Amino acid sequence: LMRVKIPEGLHKLPGPKPLPIIGNVLEVGSNPHLSLTAMSKCYGPIFQIQIGTRPVVVLSGNDVIRQALLKQGEEFSGRPDLYSTRYISDGKSLAFSTDQVGVWRARRKLALSALRTFSTLQSQSSQYSCALEEHISKEGLYLIERLHSVMKSDGSFDPFRHIVVSVANVICGICFGRRYSHDDDELVSLVNPSDEFGKIVGSGNPADFIPILRILPSCSMKKFLAINARFSAFMQKIVKDHYDSFSKDNIRDITDSLIDHCEDHKLDENSNVQVSDEKIVGIVNDLFGAGFDTISTALSWSVVYLVAYPEIQERLQRELNEKVGMERTPRLSDRTELPLLEAFILEIFRHSSFLPFTIPHCTTKDTSLNGFFIPKDTCVFVNQWQVNHDPELWKDPSCFNPDRFLTADGTDLNRMEGEKVLVFGLGKRRCIGESIGRAEVFLFLAILLQRLEFSGMPGELLDMTPEYGLTMKHKRCLLRVAPRPGYAS
């Protein structure tokens, strides 16, 4: 390991003493969000660990994270070159790859504009405010039918298994202009066993940092490679079909609009960077991948929390009865009228912190933070879980209490409190799907809660311990659902 020369006036980062070869892998353990939060209490909000021989800077605390990602955003906006991320989208991912800054910026702008255009697109039917609302409403109602039929045949249902197909269909609608049946084996198997993906790309996977681990046989790694290969094959087929039926006069979805961009080389008009066609059309891989896993994890956790806190489920249903009634399906515009549901979602984001770290960042040049020197190309973990459980920011952080996000009289959302929750990252790498993500979690939940009542299996305890990964999932479980009075199945 090279000795780093610290410029005068700056300090060396504190942190635990590393062991030869493995560094601090043992202390980091299998729940890095917990171990690195505990270390921040000992070493402060900026400290350094070593995974293998590679130094990693860990950031915690609202102030330090805001300083790094907002005020010094440019310097902390890189992505590290990690072993596992080379396999995601053949190393061409917008979110994970180490694209040079101009290329990443051009791709991100294109992705944002495509998402915005195709989610706010006018719906064919005046019943809906936009295409996104139409997709979510329809998928929400299909999901309800599906859950009723699974209940009739099996007497219980696995929440993630069904929710993920509905959520994937919303993003498929926007990206590919099509949906899949809940029985479609290809889609169901593609979106369901993604746990291995999350485990490998979650911050702190030792094989990313210790080369010897890459040549040892690893069952997780094999599954991870297989998932990536299957994902690529699925996407390539869809993209090929789009190229074959492409017509400039009829841009049907995001895939078409990206193909159109390649044909026109529109990207090159305003910038000097050259981005290959493959990297432009490949943006759709990121949108699809990020668009189903995050939202289905959030919704599946929501259902588990509803079961764990039946009195909150009842209050949410009362709010829906009063503000929306039973005569019509909830809409996106009901958001301002349903503060308790909004507060519940914020508390799910905070309490579960199911994205415990952002995707790893990397410094783009030598820099300093709070007087500590951080060299160029240093890998940086941003601990969102710590911020969401910091006793300096939250009263009783381990307690699940949506009321913390309501005003004192309980009738309105306390937006300032809501802004303290950190789940979408911040600054230059902030999630580009945030508004779609928030809208989707809200509308799916409103539709489900209006018509259904969720409960656990009699005599079985719910295990709420998250399984660590890029997105932390709850353990697979079986639940029950019944139509609410007034809604026959």
Residues in the site for ligand HEM, rule: CB under 6 A?
Answer: 94-95, 108, 111, 115, 171, 286-287, 290-291, 294-295, 298, 355, 358-359, 423-425, 429-433, 436-437, 441
Q: Which is nearer to ligand HEM, 22 or 470 (CB)?
A: 470
Q: Which is nearer to ligand HEM, 349 or 453 (CB)?
A: 349
Q: Which is nearer to ligand HEM, 154 or 278 (CB)?
A: 278
Q: Which is nearer to ligand HEM, 358 or 388 (CB)?
A: 358
Amino acid symbol at 403: D
Please state the closest distance from residue 9 (CB atom) to ligand HEM, in A. Answer: 29
Exposure b/e, 170-179, CB count within 10 A at least 16 = b? bbbbbbbbeb
Interatomic CA distance for residues 42 and 342, integer angstroms:
35
Q: Which is nearer to ligand HEM, 96 or 128 (CB)?
A: 96
Q: Which is nearer to ligand HEM, 65 or 413 (CB)?
A: 65
Please state the closest distance from residue 200 (CB atom) to ligand HEM, in A. Answer: 16
Residue showing tokens 């009901």: 334
Please state the closest distance from residue 79 (CB atom) to ligand HEM, in A. Answer: 7
Contact 80, 379 (CB under 8 A): yes
Please state the closest distance from residue 104 (CB atom) to ligand HEM, in A. Answer: 7
Please state the closest distance from residue 328 (CB atom) to ligand HEM, in A. Answer: 26
Phi-psi sector, 130: left (phi>0), alpha (psi -120 to 50), beta: beta
Please state the closest distance from residue 346 (CB atom) to ligand HEM, in A. Answer: 12
Q: What residues contact 170, with CB distance under 8 A and at least 6 apart?
A: 132, 135, 136, 139, 291, 295, 440
Q: Which is nearer to ligand HEM, 40 or 302 (CB)?
A: 302
Please state the closest distance from residue 431 (CB atom) to ligand HEM, in A. Answer: 3
Strand 361-362 to 379-382 pairing: antiparallel
Please state the closest distance from residue 216 (CB atom) to ligand HEM, in A. Answer: 29
Q: Which residue's CB atom is positioned nearest to ligand HEM? A: 433
CA atoms within 13 A on the CB side of 431: 20
Interatomic CA distance for residues 222 and 228, integer angstroms:
10
Q: Which residues pair with 482 in a beta bridge?
A: 453
Degrees, nearest 5: CA angle 115-418-65: 80
Contact 355, 32 (CB under 8 A): no
Q: Report phi then psi at 361, rounded to 5.
A: -100, 180
Structure-token pair, residue 191: 């979106």
Q: Which is nearer to ligand HEM, 203 or 450 (CB)?
A: 203
Q: Which is nearer to ligand HEM, 106 or 432 (CB)?
A: 432
Exposure b/e, 139-149, CB count within 10 A at least 16 = b? bbebbbebbbe
Please state the closest distance from residue 88 (CB atom) to ligand HEM, in A. Answer: 11
Terminal alpha carbon distance of the chain: 64
Degrees, nearest 5: CA angle 314-315-319: 120
Please state the closest distance from residue 111 (CB atom) to ligand HEM, in A. Answer: 6
**Measuring CA to CA, which residue among 120, 99, 468, 462 is closest to residue 297?**
468
Q: Which is nearer to ligand HEM, 128 or 288 (CB)?
A: 288
Q: Which is nearer to ligand HEM, 295 or 316 (CB)?
A: 295
Q: What residues contact 390, with CB distance under 8 A and at least 6 apart?
A: 60, 61, 62, 397
Interatomic CA distance for residues 46 and 32, integer angstroms:
15
Please state the closest distance from residue 229 (CB atom) to ligand HEM, in A. Answer: 21
